[in-house]
Amino acid sequence: MGIREDLQAISTTRQTALLGTAVYTILLVLAAVFYLERMAMLDMAFQTFQILRTGSLQIQSGRFGAAGTQFFAWAAQALHLPLKAVLYSYSLGHVLYYFLIFLGITLGLRQWKWALVLLLVSTLMTTHTFYWLSEMPQGLAFLLLVLAWLDFKGEIKAVRWWEYPALIAALITAFYFHPMVLYALLFCTFFVLLEPRRNPGNKALFLLAALVFLATAFVKYNLLKLDWYDAMSLERAKAYSALWPHWLDIQSNRDFLQWCLRDYYLIPLLVAVNTGFYFWKKQWLKAAVAVLAPIGFVLLVNVPFHLGDNQFYLENLYLPLAVFAGFPLVFNVLPGILPEKKIGVVIASLAALGLLRIGMAHQNWTARLNWEQALLEKTANLPNRKLILTEEHAPMDTLVLSWGSAYEFLLLSALEHPDSARCLLIDEAAWRFDSLRNEPDLFLGEFKNYPFEALPKRYFNLRDSSKYIPYSPQ
């Protein structure tokens, strides 16, 4: 019986590895095809610009775990590869990061269930966050690697004394990817504690991980000085008390329901399946957590953003819902109703739907890219080619946000050759640059302005010494 179980585990691990390889290969293809949609846009354009300018990693808001994906762009520029290769490396690197973690969980730790949860995190809800890249999904993937290691060790007695510092460091790193990764860990820990088949030593390991996370959150928000971004998040949290008890009738909830019908339909469907399974098994507490935790988490996100926000940004905050739906499905529901060899078929079907949705979501981002490229082409032969546009003169329903425009236009214009790099800027308050319009050798950016000589000439050889002029597309 033991040999048969070992052979089944090997077969399931191999099946999982093949499935994950197929999924991430498709995501790599999408990342290559739509590399400009992903890289010449907002945060990625800004980070790429800074990596090229400084030759070093660019960690924002203390989220140092992002080094795992920034490494690819940094390595490409360190090898003096051309700009297009840097952008390709950065785009593909974001998929390779997840694939390497997947291989570590599957082939290294032999934890195929956690690997399937990772596949769901990459495909179940991800839609616009495939194009607008953030630290949240990176943190969730890293967290799943840590939790898979906990199951690999089995119980707390199996952890050697010298492994504890590495475990604590890994948990702190997972938290610092994005603070809301905490809720994914608490959800998984709660279900582990409710699982009668798990031994007390294993439960103790997960409880220890949750305590480290909570302690890290306490230190970050109560003892350390917050940066502007985290302070802004705490300011938004005042909405919980200000809006109580009217947490339901808010615009962000209505937006979320609409997005669920169009993009996130698998999340409520699987939450309902999980809840129904636990009711069927008369596991009342698990049923309550399976349905109430996602609802509570949605309110946790939506109340501070009660007026609504861009879908891609809020989707980034919703991504732990993929763990809320995926963890019970993989660990309890599917093993409870299907033979082990059929579980991968269900996950493959869910992943296929996710890949299709991700591929179709490119349209808005491609439209945004096409407009910027068309503007560069339209203005290529103007006497003065350093341009400042107000948001009133840009299609903001397509552009969405303008703060990254200077870096986006710089990257797009320099793709052909460093000598073709240009300075264009779109801003909601373009008047604030009026005093700098006559500066001939200054690159104007949203947060800081740089002399041309401060930029790497092998990527941005800016030579236009004319002044900036206001521009209004006809």
Residues 101-124 pLDDT 10s: 999 999 999 999 999 999 999 999
71 shares a domain with 150: yes
219 shares a domain with 246: yes
Strands 469-470 and 387-390, sheet pairing? parallel
Per the CB < 8 A criterion, the answer to whether 436 and 442 are in contact is yes
384 shares a domain with 279: no
| % the chain with pLDDT above 90 | 87
Q: Is the pLDDT of residue 282 over 80?
A: yes
Which of left, alpha, beta for 55 (phi over 0: left; psi -120 to 50: alpha)?
left
pLDDT, tens digit, for every residue of 302-361? 999 999 999 999 999 999 999 999 999 999 999 999 998 899 999 999 999 999 999 999
The structural domain count of the chain equals: 2
Q: Is the pLDDT of residue 1 over 60?
A: no
Q: Which of 360, 391, 415 is the last residue of a domain?
A: 360
How far apart CA 78 and CA 86 sit, in angstroms, is 10
Helix segments in 55-109, DSSP class H: 67-78, 83-103
Q: How confident is the model at residue 272, as a pLDDT? A: 98
Per the CB < 8 A criterion, the answer to whether 193 and 208 are in contact is no
pLDDT, tens digit, for every residue of 124-138? 999 999 999 999 999
Lowest-confidence segment of 4-8, 196-200, 363-367, 452-456 by average pLDDT: 4-8
Q: How confident is the model at residue 307, as a pLDDT? A: 95
Find tokens 């809020």 and name the residue: 314
Q: How confident is the model at residue 228, as a pLDDT? A: 74
How far apart CA 433 and CA 445 sit, in angstroms, is 10
pLDDT, tens digit, for every residue of 427-437? 999 899 989 99
Q: Where are the beta strands (DSSP E) in 173-253?
A: none
Q: Is the pLDDT of residue 372 over 50?
A: yes
436 within some domain? yes
Per the CB < 8 A criterion, the answer to whether 197 and 187 are in contact is no
pTM: predicted TM-score of the whole model, two decimal places: 0.95
330 shares a domain with 402: no
412 shares a domain with 374: yes
280 shares a domain with 225: yes
Three-state DSSP class for residue 431: helix
pLDDT, tens digit, for every residue of 224-257? 888 777 778 788 888 999 999 999 999 999 999 9
Q: Which of 311, 344, 360 is the last residue of a domain?
A: 360
Q: How confident is the model at residue 64, as a pLDDT? A: 86
pLDDT, tens digit, for every residue of 402-428? 999 999 999 999 999 999 999 999 999
155 shares a domain with 285: yes
Arithmetic mean of pLDDT, 210-216: 97
Q: What is the per-residue DSSP string for 138-159?
A: HHHHHHHHHHHHHHHH-SGGGS
Structural domain of 403: 363-470
395 shares a domain with 321: no
6 within some domain? no
What is the pLDDT of the chain when averaged over all its residues?
94
